[in-house]
Amino acid sequence: MEYKFKKEYLKKPEWLKIRLPAGKEFKEVFETLKFYNLSTVCQEARCPNIAECWAKKSATIMILGRICTRACRFCAVETGNPGGIIDPDEPVKVAEVVNKFGLKYVVITSVDRDDLPDLGSSQYAKTVMAIKRKNPETRIEVLIPDFNCQHNFLDKIIEAKPFIIGHNLETVKRLTPYIRDRRCGYEKSLNVLKIVKEKDSGILTKSGFMLGLGETEDEIISTLQDLKDAGVNIITIGQYLQPTKRHIPVEKYYTPDEFRKYKEIGENLGIKYVLSGPLVRSSYHASEIPF
């Protein structure tokens, strides 16, 4: 069945209206990242929580550049060909930023880098190890691409032993071909999470998906069950917000009560921790997860 997008635009409800970024802490984070020529997913993906997180000196650092080789239809990150270029000093720079802010918890993510022979997996491992050397008490969460589900690339991440390895499903199975890049896949993403758990059961796994793209309640529950069956420990559920008019329109704005309902359903399925709310994103309140 062909997926048809809404042509009209829905008015954003009050519970999704947020304050603009400002303040001393926000400026300090911005200037520091600029000095080290680092990006955050907070900026590149236009995250609605940027003001709240940066005020707490919390940021999700995006490695491997600003240009993604994939083109998911919900995502604000720039798409193109990075030409195989990476910054060899990036792992050390990230470790220095973590040290400068005294972070006890840090999230590292990236664009997809299908242009690289190892798809960027070595840079992830080097970054995790650099942070550990300079900040041995810091807990590290990585939010990774699928690395084409190749075991040897996933092994590099697993062997670096971050505290959490996350990989997002983004949406329900039926909508995946229409919402995500054609090189992505629902089963492929589930397999990434399964492989991590099979290779090292001590590493916590995490995934997330958005609501508001046209999914049904049965599909939401099936997605939660699939993640449970993949051994995922932590799930985030948030509202899809259209970044620009070029992106897929919002089909529905879910209420806070509906998000609470799906949190309860997930927990009743046996998922250890479900963070569900309109403004929840993959890294939202990541350091507060009780593990």
CATH of the domain at 271: 3.20.20.70
Q: What does the pLDDT look like over 123-142, one tens digit per residue?
A: 999 999 999 999 999 999 99
201 annotated ligand-binding residue: no
- Classify residue 7: in a domain, yes or no: no
Higher pLDDT, 210 or 61: 210
244 is in which domain, residue-wise? Answer: 14-288
Instruction: Specify the residue for token string 């090292």.
Output: 200
- Asked if residues 259 and 278 have their Cβ atoms less than 8 Å apart, the reply is yes
pLDDT at 22: 56
Gyration radius of the chain's alpha carbons: 18
CA dist list (Å): 213 to 44, 165, 223, 241, 253: 21, 25, 14, 9, 9
- Classify residue 283: in a domain, yes or no: yes
CA atoms of 48 and 20, how far apart (whole Å):
9
Q: What does the pLDDT look like over 71-84, one tens digit per residue?
A: 999 998 899 999 99
- Asked if residues 179 and 73 have their Cβ atoms less than 8 Å apart, the reply is yes
pLDDT at 14: 81
Written as six digits, the tokens of 10 are 């829905």
Q: DSSP string covering 219-288, please?
A: HHHHHHHHHHHTT--EEEEEE---SSTTSPPPS-PPPHHHHHHHHHHHHHTT-SEEEE-TT--TTTTGGG
Q: How far apart are the first and last CA of the chain?
A: 42
75 annotated ligand-binding residue: yes
pLDDT at 195: 98
- Classify residue 184: in a domain, yes or no: yes
Q: What does the pLDDT look like over 101-127, one tens digit per residue?
A: 888 888 999 999 999 999 999 999 999
- Classify residue 235: in a domain, yes or no: yes
Name the band, by pLDDT with cuts 50, 70 and 90, for residue 281.
Answer: confident
Rounded percentage of the chain residues whose pLDDT exceeds 70: 84
- Classify residue 94: in a domain, yes or no: yes
Q: Is the pLDDT of residue 31 over 90?
A: no
- The total number of structural domains in the chain stands at 1
Q: Is the pLDDT of residue 192 over 70?
A: yes
The residue-averaged pLDDT of 162-179 equals 98
CB atoms within 10 A of CB 57: 15
- Classify residue 4: in a domain, yes or no: no
Q: What does the pLDDT look like over 44-75, one tens digit per residue?
A: 445 555 555 655 556 688 999 999 999 999 99
Q: Is the pLDDT of residue 96 over 90?
A: yes
- Classify residue 1: in a domain, yes or no: no
CA atoms of 174 and 216, how far apart (whole Å):
10
What pTM was computed for the model? 0.90
pLDDT at 267: 98
- Classify residue 20: in a domain, yes or no: yes
pLDDT at 268: 98
Q: Is the pLDDT of residue 150 over 70?
A: yes
53 annotated ligand-binding residue: yes
Higher pLDDT, 25 or 106: 106
pLDDT at 45: 47
- Asked if residues 207 and 167 have their Cβ atoms less than 8 Å apart, the reply is yes
68 annotated ligand-binding residue: yes
- Asked if residues 40 and 33 have their Cβ atoms less than 8 Å apart, the reply is yes
CA dist list (Å): 50 to 21, 102, 155: 7, 19, 32
Minimum mean pLDDT range among 6-10, 32-36, 114-118, 159-163: 6-10
Q: Is the pLDDT of residue 38 over 70?
A: yes
283 annotated ligand-binding residue: yes
Q: What is the mean pLDDT of the chain?
A: 89
Q: Is the pLDDT of residue 42 over 70?
A: no
